[in-house]
Amino acid sequence: MSILVDEGTRLAVAGMTGREGSFHTLNNRRYGTNVVGGVTPGKGGQDLEGIPVFDTFEQAMREVQPNTAMIFVPPRFAAESILEAAAAGVQLVIAITEGIPAHDELRVSYLLERDHPASRLIGPNCPGVLSPAKANVGIIPAAFFKQGNVGVVSRSGTLTYQIGNEISQAGFGCSTIVGIGGDPVPGSSFVDVLDLFQADEQTELVVMAGEIGGSAEEEAADFIAEHLSKPVVAYIAGFTAPPGKQMGHAGAIVSGGSGTAAAKARALESRGVRVGRTPTEVAQIAVEALGGAPLPAS
Amino acid sequence: MDLLEYQGKQLFARHGLKVSSGEAVGSVADAVRAANAIGYPVVVKAQVLIGGRGKAGGVKIARDESEVAEHAERILGMDIRGHTVRTLWIEHASDIASEYYAAVLLDRSAKRPLVIFSVEGGVEIEEVAEHSPDKLVRRHVDPLGALTRAEALDIAAAAGADEDLREGVADALVALYEVWSEEDATLAEINPLIVTPQREVRALDAKVSLDGNALYRHPENQGLSDRENQDEIERRAAEEGVQYVKLDGDIGVLGNGAGLVMSTLDVVARAGGSPANFLDAGGGSDAQKIRQAVELILANDAVKAVLFNIFGGITRCDEVARGLIAAFAEISPQVPFVVRLDGTNDREGRRLLEEAALPNVHTAKTMNEAAEMVVALAADKGVGAAA
């Protein structure tokens, strides 16, 4: 097993005909992901190297029955695209798009909850989801990850690759890597994904990589203490971030003294979660917990 | 995007929220002229994006022309915790009977707009939250709709506002929510929301943050940014579309991906160094982009050494190396660089750098090693065999 994406994934990509969209769609297909279609209004009937394009998700659903949607459309159209996919009955929507207005994200969350409670949104502003050896949906460079028993959930892309690569080099692999994204209103939180990893047989340990801003890590700490029997190793980025400054990600900001890295690390540690102070230390703790040989010091 | 007080008040006024009339000025002469037109007493307020203006001497009451001139002279150019005062807001001084607090913000964990109101304003709201949480009324709002008048009246009553003031408070809350929702704000805060002896409710301060991602919907707000008060390099970076945040240290940092850059700053600090900036070069790293980034980093005179931390996913390390080599050819930096290339095409990238033998450029294989090297270089201790 693994979570969210696997051999059963049937992917439809909104924005597949764009430059980025086509590049990553074909990359995902080369990895083995079953890409069943694309959605671009006005381009229905065309194809991308044999992948049919539809005008709407509804048509795509009728013709090729996707169970997963990837959103690659520009920010100002992304909210409607997410809602359209959910309305067509797509159960999992993974939104890569960066720069969606926060109020749009609020509206999307509210409407998904109210009208499409069975649909799950991952992202936006995220690198996607990868289940090594099964399926890759998004822009995560799959070459750094092997199949294995570590679940990874993160607010950041490259930081995840950094940690995942160190775990791979120590000889371990991953069940699924989930990027939940760096925006203030993510569709799925750490808690949502931790819950899935707890239920997943393949996953024996979870690595979560958080960062400054909001309180998702604190909520995860409470959830872990109450609901997770599997070990969790955490990392928090942004100890040196000054208050009031947005550090790249829209959601990465310490405001009014809340959302600091120190407070997040304290919340996790007080609940018994080990927090690595560098990405390397996170990998070392994870490997030790899995009973493997510790990494050589680097 | 954080707005200055006067910009926030102008937005408030546009949505029918009561504020004192005033004028934003940039010189002593204009301050005097504005004060004479407004009528005494006036308040001279430093316009900076940092709290504690009053304590720093940036807010003064003036009763006549000579006092305005005196205060304006002293406050303009003043440094308030790293922010230089370039603009003053001159407004008519208000008589204050009570101070309330009102805010609309984005509750990230509930994924809802949150209205907060308290009859205990004028102080740090975190303190009220801690010491008398019962004095703080918090209400989530349906993000598809507006704050209704009935809801607003209910909030005023629940907070214990005097009965004759509830209409005025409700007006303010409804207008504040309108600012939040119609201007795509992530925060709209009034502290204090004052009650005058004439029982009028009015915003005495304004703290508004607008969502930069939604500015395309608000062309009229695009000129509002805080640029005049921003750090010069940050301003340049914003114009060039580079994610750059200036910090206090002497080690320039560049990485790809916001999380990795934040992590790099932390690792540098743990190695005993002090980062001079956050710079996310993002995906794709052609020579032009790298050169631009290097120029921004070196525009800060405090920088003694630079760390490039690249984990190549979609970004290819050989492209970064080529970019750096091209950038060096054009701008010949005078400080040492440590370049850590890992991930896609890392060997090729490191080989290119070694071949180019750029002066004072050192390569590292891991993030920790790179951090230690750059900290040693910034302290002028050299890196020994690692070079």
Of the candidates B287, B282, B288, the residue with the CA atom closest to the CA atom of residue B314: B282
Angle formed by the axes of helices A279-289 and A157-169, nearest 10°: 50
> Mean pLDDT, to the nearest integer, of B137-165?
95
Is the Cβ–Cβ distance between B279 and B242 less than 8 Å? yes
How much is the pTM?
0.92
Examine residue A96 and state whether it is found in any structural domain, yes or no: yes
Examine residue A133 and state whether it is found in any structural domain, yes or no: no
Examine residue A167 and state whether it is found in any structural domain, yes or no: yes
The pLDDT assigned to B229 comes to 57
Of the candidates B189, B221, B226, the residue with the CA atom closest to the CA atom of residue B205: B189
Please name the helix (run of DSSP H) or strand (run of DSSP E) that holds residue B146, with its range, or none.
none
Specify whether A106 is located in the same domain as A184.
Answer: no
Asked if B177 is an active-site residue, the reply is no
Give the model confidence (pLDDT) of B216-273 as tens digits.
Answer: 999 999 878 655 556 889 888 888 888 999 999 999 999 998 999 999 999 999 999 9
Report whether CATH 3.40.50.261 matches the domain B232-386. Answer: yes
Q: Which residues of A touch B144 (CB under 8 A)?
A: 107, 110-111
The pLDDT assigned to A266 comes to 95
CATH number for the domain harbouring residue A69: 3.40.50.720
The pLDDT assigned to B1 comes to 85
Specify whether A111 is located in the same domain as A145.
Answer: no
Closest Cβ opposite residue B280 in set A99, A140, A248: A248
Domain boundaries along the sequence of chain B: 21-92, 98-224, 232-386
List residues of A with catalytic annotation.
Answer: 249
Specify whether A207 is located in the same domain as A72.
Answer: no
Is the Cβ–Cβ distance between A210 and A264 less than 8 Å? yes
Three-class SS of residue A234? strand
| Interatomic CA distance for residues B310 and B316, integer angstroms | 9
Written in H, E and C, the secondary structure of A162-224 is: HHHHHHHHCCCCEEEEEECCCCCCCCCCHHHHHHHHHHCCCCCEEEEEEECCCCHHHHHHHHH
Residue B302 has pLDDT above 60, yes or no: yes
- Note whether B245 contacts A: Cβ–Cβ < 8 A: yes
Q: Minimal Cα–Cα distance from A269 to chain B, Å?
A: 18
Specify whether A28 is located in the same domain as A97.
Answer: yes
The pLDDT assigned to B130 comes to 76
B263:A161 CB<8 A = no
Give the model confidence (pLDDT) of B28-81 as tens digits.
Answer: 999 999 999 999 999 999 998 887 888 889 999 999 999 999 999 999 999 988
Examine residue A160 and state whether it is found in any structural domain, yes or no: yes
Examine residue A197 and state whether it is found in any structural domain, yes or no: yes
- The CATH number for B98-224, chosen from 3.30.470.20, 3.30.413.10, 1.10.3470.10, 3.10.20.30, is 3.30.470.20
> Mean pLDDT, to the nearest integer, of A202-228?
95
| Interatomic CA distance for residues A252 and A246, integer angstroms | 6
Angle formed by the axes of helices A216-227 and A261-270, nearest 10°: 10
Q: Which residue of A has its CA nearest to B369?
A: A298
Please identify, among A93, A122, A151, the residue that sits at the C-terminal boundary of a domain. A122
Contacts of B5 (CB under 8 A, 6+ apart): B45, B47, B89, B205, B206, B207
The pLDDT assigned to A298 comes to 43
- The CATH number for B21-92, chosen from 3.40.190.10, 3.90.79.10, 3.30.1490.20, 3.30.70.100, is 3.30.1490.20
Give the model confidence (pLDDT) of A122-134 as tens digits.
Answer: 999 999 999 999 9
Q: Which residues of A touch B109 (CB under 8 A)?
A: 189, 214-216, 219
Examine residue A241 and state whether it is found in any structural domain, yes or no: yes
Give the model confidence (pLDDT) of B185-227 as tens digits.
Answer: 999 999 999 999 999 999 999 999 999 899 999 999 987 865 5
The pLDDT assigned to B387 comes to 39
Q: How far apart are the first and last CA of chain A?
A: 33
Give chain A's domain count: 2
Q: How many CB atoms lie within 10 A of CB B230?
A: 17
The pLDDT assigned to B227 comes to 57
Examine residue A175 and state whether it is found in any structural domain, yes or no: yes
Give the model confidence (pLDDT) of B361-387 as tens digits.
Answer: 998 888 999 999 999 999 986 554 443
- Note whether B381 contacts A: Cβ–Cβ < 8 A: no
The pLDDT assigned to A297 comes to 47
Give the model confidence (pLDDT) of B92-136 as tens digits.
Answer: 999 999 999 999 999 998 999 999 999 988 777 777 777 777 788
- Of the ranges A89-93, B270-274, B312-316, B335-339, which one carries the lowest mean pLDDT score? B312-316
Q: B interface mutation test: which of A24, A28, A162 has the most B CBs within 10 A?
A: A162
Specify whether A175 is located in the same domain as A281.
Answer: yes
Interface confidence, given as ipTM, is: 0.90
Examine residue A151 and state whether it is found in any structural domain, yes or no: yes
Q: Which domain holds residue A115?
A: 11-122
Please identify, among A90, A122, A154, the residue that sits at the C-terminal boundary of a domain. A122
> Mean pLDDT, to the nearest integer, of B161-186?
96
| Interatomic CA distance for residues A47 and A39, integer angstroms | 10
Give the model confidence (pLDDT) of A128-169 as tens digits.
Answer: 999 999 999 999 989 889 999 999 999 998 898 988 888 888
Q: B interface mutation test: which of A72, A106, A145, A158 has the most B CBs within 10 A?
A: A158
CATH number for the domain harbouring residue A179: 3.40.50.261
Catalytic residue among B6, B101, B177, B244: B101
Contacts of A184 (CB under 8 A, 6+ apart): A102, A105, A213, A214, A250, A251, B106, B108, B186
CA dihedral for A8, A13, A16, A22, sign (positive or negative): negative
